[in-house]
Chain A
């Protein structure tokens, strides 16, 4: 399997897996216990907290461990308390659905390059606005947003796609709250964190014991947290050359291929390309049967594909969104894999276009 869907999730790194297995097997104490078994578990959790703080450029006490990105986003939104929320049309459902469930919210549009205009955010602010949430990097296009904090209003950014993949410093970004998840940077699934700036009052969503400075009850996922720390300590992957090779190869070899969000500053691992005249769903399946994993659109509960809400928010028609494919690279991809992808893709697109009644330019 050649895996080019690293924005969905990444394979776990061997050194992270070693930590996960070792802690799971050997460290059985409860970090809240007084005895030495508990103390050992506490050490694992606090080591990881320091590693994550190092990754984000903050103080360890500002890190709250969660079950992943969705919980971190929900904690930021519901923990902020009542009031109006301003967010954007390209957020992950973990933010958009949570904001709608929370109550009154304004969703600002994006440009055709998947960029949010900070002035649009400013204009949407109201006296009762409690929280602004703008994602750092978009999962579909990789577009990196300009983050602007407004005095007196809590500022959250969903950094799930950015953290562990590009340099992030929460102080420089000026955010109050920042969500991350381990599995996007070669850690395990089911563990993440929310950065909560020192001084920000955050109400817990899960009630129970006094874990995580009373911001997230529940016995810690010690092995997962330790693995999150280990993943945070990995060097950032550098896949820009591979991504560029892939993108330029596609543009050179496949006619009528257009890069979505091309003019935006983008994550160096993501390429979202539309191939006029094909069905993305067919192409994903054809590539999968050929042993190559890429993605298109958004999966609904049954697993069927719907057009991406991000691409339609950028003004793409449903047909344009349906023929768009996302290629997202990770630290384990190689030049040879990219070349195999290019060969397979070129043939698959040509075959699908030959079948397509609407595609007449081929």
Chain B
């Protein structure tokens, strides 16, 4: 294996730079690649003054990645995945919002770009493995004959919520060298390895959406693609069906949201209102009180069984329904379709949001993940 070529996905950030430096120190044969995913000059109405670093594919990040590759003396290329990214991430992202769901583009990107097209590219250039800076761990379980994925040791940085779609053959070829490290350890290591990006800020938000304003992004994308705003406008109603206000588009709302509703309840109480559902057929946004947000169960669809085979009988688990969600104790119930799982929580959970993922754990082991119906 030491002679086998590894393709390192290099974003220009400290994590992937450290991955490259670590593997280089181990004497592995490397090729560094930066995926060009999105043209930042598109949608000019979203451009702001100031640095564009920390968003995907900015020239500064490519410059940083190239500089690190040069420092490590490894071959380096920028590969153009813009077409695939638009088809499999950006377009579904916009369409999910239009259907009243709250999508996770990072998972789509992992499933369709980073661990799919990038693996194909690795194949094409003769690399047997890929390595990324994700905080997750993979091991092979001899008894079950499966690759298992576990949460990153740094639970604050753990990215398994976004990686539940990985298939066995993808896990077999993927290295996550940072999975057993904490972020502070990575920064210390990066500094000790003399990596130029050691002190660079983390990127936080959705990479192609400036300033996290996804509604503005969708509006700009509509304008570019000539999509009429009429299709998304509708009414804000309460749970009894009373119309409280008009709204500019279902994509401005997500389940659990309180701010920006611009409505007051018809009832006499003064409890705050939250979005409890959106209906893509009627374009209606339903608002209600906090207790109406609680759900005791959910159905996960398109479930990918990561570390274990599909269950045939109920089993306990901890389930995350948002990236920042504390995993909630639950029981998984199989259905006739192994790709559909019913999750029954021990305690009702707030804001179960269609379009988000339900990722099922046994302690740090990722059992499975699917999309909330």
What does DSSP make chain B's interface, helix, strand, loop or mixed?
mixed
Q: Contact check, A282 vs B125: say whether CB atoms are below 8 A apart.
A: yes
Query: A303 near B: Cβ within 8 Å?
Result: yes
- Complex interface: chain B residues within 8 A of A282 (CB): 121, 124-125
Q: Is A302 a contact partner of B59 (Cβ separation < 8 A)?
A: yes
Decide if B36 is an interface residue (CB 8 Å cutoff). Answer: yes
Would you call A286 an interface residue if the criterion is a C-beta within 8 Å of the partner chain's C-beta atoms?
Answer: yes
Instruction: Report chain B residues within 8 Å CB of A301.
Output: 59
Contact indicator B80/A286 (Cβ below 8 Å): no
When the two chains form their complex, are residues B125 and A302 in contact, meaning their CB atoms are under 8 A apart? no
In angstroms, Cα B82 to Cα A301, docked, is 14
Interface flag for A46 (CB, 8 Å): no
A292-314 interface code vs B (CB 8 A; 1 in, 0 out): 00000000111111100000000
**Is A346 in the interface zone, CB < 8 Å from B?**
no
- Beyond A302-B62, A303-B78, whether A289 also contacts B57 by CB under 8 A is no
A305, closest chain B residue (CB): B80
Q: Is the CB of B77 within 8 A of A285?
A: yes
Cβ contact of B66, chosen from A303, A306, A352, cutoff 8 A: A303
Task: Give the one of A281, A303, A352 with max B CB within 10 A.
Answer: A303
Name the distance in Å between B315's Cβ and chain A's nearest Cβ. Answer: 36
Question: In the complex, how many residues of chain B place their beta carbon closer than 8 angstroms to a beta carbon of chain A?
Answer: 20
Interface residues of B in 55-88 (CB under 8 A from A): 57, 59, 62, 66, 75, 77-80, 82
User: What residue of chain A has the Cβ atom nearest to residue B120's Cβ?
Assistant: A355
Name the residue of chain B whose CB is nearest to the CB of A284: B77
**B124 touching A285, Cβ below 8 Å:** yes
Cross-chain contact A289 with B66 (CB below 8 angstroms): no
Is residue A140 within 8 Å, beta carbon to beta carbon, of the partner chain?
A: no
Residues of A within 8 A of B82 (CB): 304
Docked Cα-Cα span, A300 to B78, in Å, equals 10
Q: Once the chains bind, are B75 and A302 in contact (CB under 8 Å)?
A: no
Within 8 Å by CB of B78, from A286, A289, A304, lies A304
B80:A304 contact, CB within 8 angstroms: yes
Tell me if B123 is interfacial: C-beta within 8 Å of chain A: yes
- B66: which A residues are within 8 A, CB to CB? 303
Classify the interface of chain A: helix, strand, loop or mixed: helix
Interface assignment of B250: CB less than 8 Å from any CB of chain A: no
Q: Could you tell me the distance between the alpha carbons of A306 and B59 in the complex, rounded to whole angstroms? A: 16
User: Which residues of A lie under 8 Å from residue B34 when comparing CB positions?
Assistant: 302
Give the contact-size bracket for chain A: 10 to 19
Q: Are A355 and B78 within 8 A (Cβ)? A: no
Which one of A281, A303, A305, A351 contacts B62 once the chains associate, using CB atoms below 8 Å?
Answer: A303
A283 CA to B124 CA in the complex, in Å? Answer: 7
Q: Mark B98-111, 1 if CB is under 8 A from A, else 0.
A: 00000000000000
Alpha-carbon separation in the docked complex, A303 to B78 (Å): 6
For residue B126, CB closer than 8 A to chain A, the reply is yes
Q: CB < 8 Å: which of A288, A289, A302, A351 contacts B36?
A: A302
| Distance to closest chain A CB from B124 (angstroms) | 3
A95-147: which have CB < 8 Å to B? none
B175 at the interface (CB under 8 A from A): no
Given the known inter-chain contacts A282-B121, A302-B57, A302-B62, please indicate yes or no for A351 contacting B126, CB distance below 8 A: yes
Name the one of B36, B59, B125 contacting A286, with C-beta atoms under 8 angstroms. B125
Q: Cβ of A247: which chain B residues have Cβ within 8 Å of it?
A: none
B59 CB contacts on chain A under 8 angstroms? 301-302
Q: Contact at B78–A302, with CB atoms within 8 Å?
A: yes
Q: Judging by beta carbons under 8 Å apart, are B124 and A304 in contact? A: no
Min C-beta distance of B129 to chain A, whole Å = 15
Given contacts A281-B80, A304-B78, contact A355 B62 (CB under 8 A): no
Check if B303 is an interface residue, CB within 8 A of chain A. no
Expressed in whole angstroms, the Cα–Cα distance for A351 and B128 within the complex equals 13
Find residues 115-140 in chain B having any chain A CB closer than 8 Å to their own CB. Answer: 120-121, 123-126
Which of these, B79, B120, B123, contacts A304 with CB under 8 Å?
B79
CA A303 – CA B12 in complex, angstroms?
14
Q: Which residues of A contact B (CB under 8 A)?
A: 279, 281-283, 285-286, 288-289, 300-306, 351-352, 355
Question: Apart from A288-B75, A289-B125, A303-B62, what are 4 other A-B pairs with CB-CB below 8 Å?
Answer: A285-B31, A286-B125, A303-B66, A304-B36
Q: List 13 A-B contacts (CB under 8 A).
A: A281-B80, A285-B77, A288-B77, A289-B5, A289-B125, A300-B36, A300-B80, A302-B57, A302-B59, A302-B62, A304-B82, A305-B79, A355-B124
